[in-house]
């Protein structure tokens, strides 16, 4: 490793600004996040990347148990006498996301999914019955939702949960091979019970998807043996997350007591009849799924942190590695001095900050929705935002980890340098806890909710007015830091053609105008599509699928920017605040640059302005370059946690 830049130089320049940036980005969760940084060690968090699958699984299980004793992974889950603390759950998951992602996901499966199913869908009695052994990682379990035949389409799961009045039991059954539960964490080896999702049948009537706790394996001298009627399998080697024992479970008329049916939103009474506080089956289904939203919040955060980690490694490497002589004769050039290297890494860092602020707001929203009886609209807003951010963050993570790997050249491909396992592990974040494409359609459809009904009988002109109203209402109601944003936008609107591209009001106006325009035009197209005659409905709706995804992106980008702007306002360190404003500029202009065709196509930007964006992004990169180390320090991944041999050597 050739490096003449000493770490001394870095420390002198970087540390105070880096700390201030980190504190700002940590926001209201600074104390909890700092505690993790002060407490967890790299040995607890990272495994040797050379481990075989079997070794990785054993290490991950041991690390899970060890960290449970330190209160990591399991923090914030409800116990008798201890209420749930959703922020602690998310921040705890985030802490583990700085390390081996198998460990993170193993903890997520055990506490967040298996425990979360009971916490979200179980009665108080059921929570008291199961949670104590779950949060100590004593009773290992599974979240058995996905089936071979139905991954994204949960509403049409095939597994049946049939109430047998004779014996007062629930009969759990996989009627076809396609009904086999698959990709289930903890199913291949370590789990002994599962929260199994299936269609609940009571007295010959199907009440839709419910969840029941099913013991499926017992430990005999430390080895797992399938219980009668349960057949497990091992998904074997995967593209990553080798430490998580994903597997299959198939049920052949397995009987469990009625009391195992998680009954908060629907169950079978003592007299054998179905009962639910929510009459509408569709609403019940979405309410039940809604309780599981925390998983998406966690997974999005975890992905974003994987991105931060990769950026921390690649940026530090780019600050020490030199290649090719400087034509001006002053030795070899530091990688990060190359424009293109800056363009690869710095906009990624800006995105990482943007998602960080957006995530803090999302946690706040989660906490609000869990603490009080909130209007249904707010709960829907939480679900939509969690879905959109999860998709955006996992896309970001996949893309930026690859960019970082490539930016480190051959060294990036050697496992001990810390990027390859990250790359493998983060891949599936684009799929689990909701396939990104499916999630983004959810976001878009959420924004369109209500349109169909309200428009019946309106003509084209009325429709347009109505649409504009709804958009305004939604845009107005659903963003963090609303007052500030409104003021900036209002000012910018009065002089949008002369405003500088660095004018925050103009930037916000562009993000809002894009969302508004995409939503308005989609609403009209969607309304037409929904009127297609039977037999042509699929084609009609299918034709706007790309438009749906565009809307989801535009919406999520706008929400993220709102959080970024609001987050900067709360920063009290002036140097950090100035820097955050530059980072925010880079975030915005990088976004606008890649989407500038849309803006010129829709006359929201002139050719000249569109052409100027590249130059401005380049200038911003050059401006941020000297503080690159502080920027990654601000991302909050302690240098000791990076575990990258090339940064030590």
Q: Does residue 430 contact residue 436 with C-beta atoms inside 8 Å?
A: yes
Binding part of the chain for a second copy, among 8-16, 409-417, 459-467, 551-559 by CB under 8 A, reads 409-417
Nearest alpha carbon to residue 148 among 173, 181, 176, 194: 181
- Interface segment toward a second copy; rule CB under 8 A; list 221-229, 288-296, 412-420, 567-575: 412-420
Choose, by CB under 8 A, the member of 138, 500, 545, 570 that binds a second copy.
545
3-state secondary structure at position 147: strand
CB count, 10 Å around CB of 377?
12
Stretch 79-118 residues interacting with a second copy (CB under 8 A): none
Which residue of 52, 138, 273, 454 would you call a contact of a second copy, by CB under 8 A? 52
**Under the criterion CB under 8 A, does residue 327 sit at the interface with a second copy?**
yes
Is residue 497 a contact residue for a second copy (CB under 8 A)? no
Is residue 423 a contact residue for a second copy (CB under 8 A)? yes
- Min. distance of Cβ 594 from a second copy in angstroms? 9
Using rule CB under 8 A, residue 53 touches a second copy: yes
648 touches a second copy by CB under 8 A: no
154 exposure class (CB count in 10 Å sphere: 0-12, 13-18, 19+):
middle
Residues 348-407 that bind a second copy (CB under 8 A): 398, 402, 405-406
When the beta carbons of 38 and 324 are compared against a second copy, the nearer one is: 324
**Is the CB of 408 or the CB of 568 nearer to a second copy?**
408
> Minimal CA–CA distance to 526: which of 601, 602, 442, 444?
444
Q: Which is nearer to a second copy, 129 or 322 (CB)?
A: 322
Question: Does residue 354 come out as left (phi exceeding 0), alpha (psi in the -120 to 50 range) or beta?
Answer: alpha
> Please, which residue, 205 or 597, has the CB nearer to a second copy?
597
Closest CA to 583 of 394, 343, 354: 354
Q: Which of 85, 435, 520, 639 binds a second copy (CB under 8 A)?
A: 435
In the shown chain, the binding pattern of residues 166 to 185 toward a second copy, with x for contact by CB under 8 A and - for none, equals: ------------x---xx--
For tokens 């054993």, what's the residue?
58
Does 527 contact a second copy by CB under 8 A?
Answer: no
By rule CB under 8 A, what string of x and - marks binding of each residue 117-156 to a second copy?
-----------------------------x-xxxxxx--x
Compute and round to an integer the Cα radius of gyration of the chain.
Answer: 26
Backbone φ, ψ for residue 439 (5° rounding)? -60, -40
| Tokens linked to 648 | 């030590």
How far from 54 is each of 35, 184, 193, 314, 605, CA to CA, in Å? 32, 17, 21, 30, 56
| DSSP for 598-623, written as a single string | HHHHTTSS-HHHHHHHHHHHHHHHHH
343 near a second copy, judged by CB under 8 A? yes
Strands 247-251, 230-234: pairing kind? antiparallel
H or E stretch at 272: none
User: Alpha-carbon distance 94 to 432, whole Å?
Assistant: 17
Helix (H, G, I), strand (E, B) or coil at 26: helix
Nearer to a second copy, 202 or 404 (CB): 404
* Binding test (CB under 8 A) with a second copy, winner from 326, 454, 465, 500: 326
Q: Does 502 bind a second copy (CB under 8 A)?
A: no
Residue from 80, 409, 450, 626 touching a second copy (CB under 8 A): that is: 409
d(CA 288, CA 291): 6
Binding of a second copy by 2 (CB under 8 A): yes
Q: Least distance (Å) from a second copy to the CB of residue 243?
A: 14
CB of 488 to a second copy, least distance (A): 26
Question: What token pair was written down for 422?
Answer: 């990250």
Residues between 229 and 248 with contacts to a second copy, criterion CB under 8 A:
235-240
Cβ neighbours of residue 264 closer than 8 Å, sequence gap 6 or more: 120, 121, 122, 123
Footprint on residues 568-597 left by a second copy (CB under 8 A): 596-597
Please report whether residue 537 would count as binding a second copy according to CB under 8 A. Answer: yes
Residue 329 contacts a second copy per CB under 8 A: yes
Q: How far is the CB of 179 from a second copy (least distance, A)?
A: 10
């Amino acid at each position: 490793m050739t490096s003449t830049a000493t770490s001394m130089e870095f420390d002198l320049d970087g540390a105070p600004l880096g700390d201030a940036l980190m504190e700002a980005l940590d926001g209201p969760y600074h104390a909890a996040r700092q505690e993790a940084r002060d407490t967890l060690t790299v040995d607890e968090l990272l495994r040797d990347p050379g481990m075989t699958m079997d070794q990785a699984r054993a290490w991950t299980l041991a690390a899970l148990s060890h960290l449970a004793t330190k209160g990591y992974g399991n923090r914030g889950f409800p116990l008798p006498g201890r209420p749930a603390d959703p922020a602690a759950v998310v921040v705890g998951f985030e802490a583990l996301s700085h390390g081996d992602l198998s460990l993170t996901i193993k903890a997520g499966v055990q506490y967040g999914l298996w425990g979360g199913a009971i916490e979200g869908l179980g009665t108080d009695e059921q929570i008291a019955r199961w949670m104590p052994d779950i949060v100590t990682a004593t009773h290992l379990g599974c979240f058995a939702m996905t089936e071979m035949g139905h991954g994204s389409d949960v509403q049409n799961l095939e597994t049946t949960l049939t109430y047998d009045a004779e014996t007062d039991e629930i009969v759990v059954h996989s009627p076809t091979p396609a009904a086999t539960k698959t990709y289930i964490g903890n199913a291949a080896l370590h789990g002994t019970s599962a929260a199994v999702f299936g269609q609940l049948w009571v007295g010959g009537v199907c009440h839709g998807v419910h969840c029941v706790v099913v013991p499926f394996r017992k430990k005999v001298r430390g080895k797992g043996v399938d219980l009668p009627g349960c057949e497990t399998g091992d998904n074997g080697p995967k593209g990553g997350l080798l430490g998580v024992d994903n597997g299959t479970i198939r049920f052949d008329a397995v009987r469990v007591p009625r009391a195992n049916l998680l009954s908060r939103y629907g169950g079978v009474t003592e007299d054998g009849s179905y009962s639910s506080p929510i009459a509408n089956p569709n609403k019940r289904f979405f309410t039940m799924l809604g309780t599981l939203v925390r998983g998406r919040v966690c997974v999005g955060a975890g992905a974003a942190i994987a991105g931060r980690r990769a950026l921390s490694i690649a940026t530090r490497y780019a600050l020490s590695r030199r290649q090719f002589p400087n034509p001006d004769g002053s030795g070899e050039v530091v990688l990060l001095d190359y424009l293109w290297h800056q363009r690869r890494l710095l906009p990624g860092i800006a995105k990482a900050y943007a998602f960080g602020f957006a995530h803090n707001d999302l946690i706040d929203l989660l906490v609000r929705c869990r603490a009080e009886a909130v209007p249904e609209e707010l709960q829907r807003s939480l679900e939509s935002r969690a879905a959109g951010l999860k998709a955006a963050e996992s896309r970001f993570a996949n893309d930026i980890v690859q960019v970082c790997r490539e930016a480190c050249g051959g060294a990036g491909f050697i496992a001990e340098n810390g990027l390859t396992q990250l790359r493998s592990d983060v891949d599936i974040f684009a799929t689990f806890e909701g396939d990104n494409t499916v999630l983004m359609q959810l976001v878009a459809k959420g924004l369109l909710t209500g349109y169909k009904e309200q428009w019946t009988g309106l003509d084209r002109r009325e429709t347009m007015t109505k649409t504009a109203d709804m958009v305004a209402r939604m845009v107005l109601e659903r963003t963090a830091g609303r007052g500030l944003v409104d003021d900036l936008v209002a000012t910018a609107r009065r002089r949008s053609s002369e405003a500088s591209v660095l004018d925050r009001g103009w930037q916000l106006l562009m993000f809002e105008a894009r969302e508004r325009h995409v939503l308005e035009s989609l609403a009209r197209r969607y309304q037409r599509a929904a009127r297609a005659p039977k037999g042509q409905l699929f084609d009609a709706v299918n034709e706007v699928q790309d438009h749906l995804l565009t809307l989801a992106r535009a919406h999520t980008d706008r929400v993220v920017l709102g959080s970024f702007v609001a987050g900067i306002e709360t920063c009290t360190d002036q140097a950090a605040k100035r820097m955050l404003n530059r980072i925010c500029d880079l975030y915005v202009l990088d976004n606008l640059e890649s989407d500038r065709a849309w803006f010129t196509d829709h006359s929201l930007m002139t050719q000249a302005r569109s052409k100027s964006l590249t130059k401005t992004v380049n200038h911003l990169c050059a401006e941020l370059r000297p503080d690159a180390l502080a920027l990654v320090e601000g991302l909050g991944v302690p240098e000791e946690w990076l575990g990258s041999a090339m940064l030590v050597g």
